[in-house]
Structure 1
Amino acid sequence: MKLISLKIKVCGMKFNILEISDLFPDFIGFIFYPNSPRFVGYDFSPPKLKRKILKTGVFVNESKEKILKISKEKSLDFVQLHGNESSFYCEYLFNKGLKLIKSFRIDKFLPFKNMKDYIHLCTYFLFDTKTTSYGGSGKKFCWDLLYEYNLEIPFFLSGGIGIEDIDKIKNFSRSNSKMFGIDINSKFEFFPGKKDSIAINSFIKKIRK
């Protein structure tokens, strides 16, 4: 039976960043997408965190040049591509030395043929629910689809995850060796960008228990 050691990514951070960093998530995500209510702004500078939490910048169909500029200026550890970025687009950023997380929005099936083009370019994949927006919908997709996943890239599970999903997440992780982490966002907010530290603290402790 697989030992539970899931990484936790708190995405859509905008306001109480240091408060959440004190809860020791593994990743914190900052959204650099102007159409998102959690957009931090291009002039945003992440605060110095008290421990080694991996800073992730989330972009949607952004220009490659702007991603390179922001990644360097903000000292990002990872770049998450959450739009319709092609494998050629990712290859350019990969060759520039960026560590990539490629998101795939899931509806009724896994896009295996498409995903295979990204295998050698990405450190992780992220699976989110397909909606008209790019993330933060609070909606789940059918996790059972991921039992078909047989690629070597570890993945984050995302999309409408709440504290009520802890047991299901643990059971799912035990049977899926490539599940690397959980991406939480809208279910742990007072409003977009302002996270509920009490709920997140409870979630982290129970997941790691």
Structure 2
Amino acid sequence: MTMVKICGLTRGVDIEYANMLMPEYVGFVFASSKRQLAPEDAAVLIQRLKPEIKKVGVFVDEDIDVVLDTARICGLDVLQLHGNETPEYCRSIEGYEVWKAFRVEGERSIEEIGEYEVDGVLLDSFESGQHGGTGRTFDWNLAATVAKEHFTILAGGLSPENVKSAIEIVRPAAVDVSSGVETDGMKDYLKIKNS
């Protein structure tokens, strides 16, 4: 069974949706983004989240002390590193599950995955100047190759319309939905339920 991560929660009602639908993971963005939250604001939301749901913090090229402080303040379970973090940076983190994101443009995009000793590999679509949340898909056959060898989280343009096909092709451990389950930039209960 493929697990689900709903990323980019920003409102109390998003927490209510998560508590009703019980995805395995929810994500809070601490990097520059329209979904960015301050750690203190995320912590308030997280207090209302059912404890069975794992909390993922999304960071992009952040100072490691800031990442760890945020993780402590919010009680995060998983640290998702979505920038140009090195294998050494990832290895230096203790006490948390670490997911490293890779933006897939072609085969060369996935060649360096083997250099990383992480708990999960998140595959997202490549768009110049953006670190995710593009709402665009990429070649899922490349992702399927990675998923055979790694705990893979598939992201990038997933929506209720295409997520079933994506799972059949890639067979990821989890899917990560964000903009594809929004209406007018806000999380939509029915879209989340149908993903």
Structure-1-length-normalised TM-score = 0.84
Q: Tell me the C-alpha RMSD between the 2 structures.
A: 1.7
User: Per chain length, whose mean CA-contact separation is higher, i.e. which structure has more relative contact order (CA < 8 Å, sep 6+)?
Assistant: 1
The answer to whether the Cα contact below 8 Å between 2:39 and 2:74 also exists between their aligned partners in 1 is no
What residue ranges of structure 1 are gaps of 5+ in the alignment?
204-209
The separation in 1 between residues aligned to 2:83 and 2:183, in whole angstroms, is: 26
Counting matched residue pairs gives 189
What residue ranges of structure 2 are gaps of 5+ in the alignment?
none
**Residue in structure 2 matched with residue 190 of structure 1 by the alignment:** 183
Deviation at 1:172, TM superposition (A): 1.4
1:1-40 aligned at under 5 Å gives the runs 5-15=1-11, 16-21=13-18, 22-33=20-31, 35-40=32-37
The separation in 2 between residues aligned to 1:170 and 1:43, in whole angstroms, is: 35
What amino acid does structure 1 have at the position aligned with 2:100?
K
The separation in 2 between residues aligned to 1:185 and 1:126, in whole angstroms, is: 14
The separation in 2 between residues aligned to 1:82 and 1:163, in whole angstroms, is: 24
Structure-2-length-normalised TM-score = 0.90
1:111-190 aligned at under 5 Å gives the runs 111-118=109-116, 120=117, 122-131=118-127, 132-149=129-146, 152-173=149-170, 176=171, 179-190=172-183
The answer to whether the Cα contact below 8 Å between 2:81 and 2:99 also exists between their aligned partners in 1 is yes
Within the alignment, does 1:200 sit opposite 2:189 as a pair? no
Identity among equivalent positions (%) equals: 29
**Residue in structure 1 matched with residue 63 of structure 2 by the alignment:** 63
**Residue in structure 2 matched with residue 206 of structure 1 by the alignment:** none
The answer to whether the Cα contact below 8 Å between 2:40 and 2:74 also exists between their aligned partners in 1 is no
What SS class does the counterpart of residue 14 from structure 1 fall into? Answer: coil
Task: Encode CA deviations 1:169-199: one digit per residue, 9 max, x unaligned.
Answer: 34214xx4xx20100000111244x200111
| Distance of aligned partners of 1:148 and 1:18 in 2 relative to their CA distance in 1, 3 Å threshold | closer
Deviation at 1:112, TM superposition (A): 4.2
**Residue in structure 1 matched with residue 38 of structure 2 by the alignment:** 41
1:86-101 aligned at under 5 Å gives the runs 86-93=86-93, 96-101=94-99
What SS class does the counterpart of residue 43 from structure 1 fall into? Answer: helix
The separation in 2 between residues aligned to 1:188 and 1:156, in whole angstroms, is: 17
**Residue in structure 2 matched with residue 207 of structure 1 by the alignment:** none
The separation in 1 between residues aligned to 2:3 and 2:74, in whole angstroms, is: 22
What amino acid does structure 1 have at the position aligned with 2:121?
F
The separation in 1 between residues aligned to 2:105 and 2:80, in whole angstroms, is: 20
Within the alignment, does 1:107 sit opposite 2:105 as a pair? yes
The answer to whether the Cα contact below 8 Å between 1:110 and 1:145 also exists between their aligned partners in 2 is no
**Residue in structure 1 matched with residue 72 of structure 2 by the alignment:** 72
Task: Encode CA deviations 1:63-116: one digit per residue, 9 max, x unaligned.
Answer: 0000011111111000000001001111111xx322101100000225344111
The answer to whether the Cα contact below 8 Å between 1:160 and 1:186 also exists between their aligned partners in 2 is yes
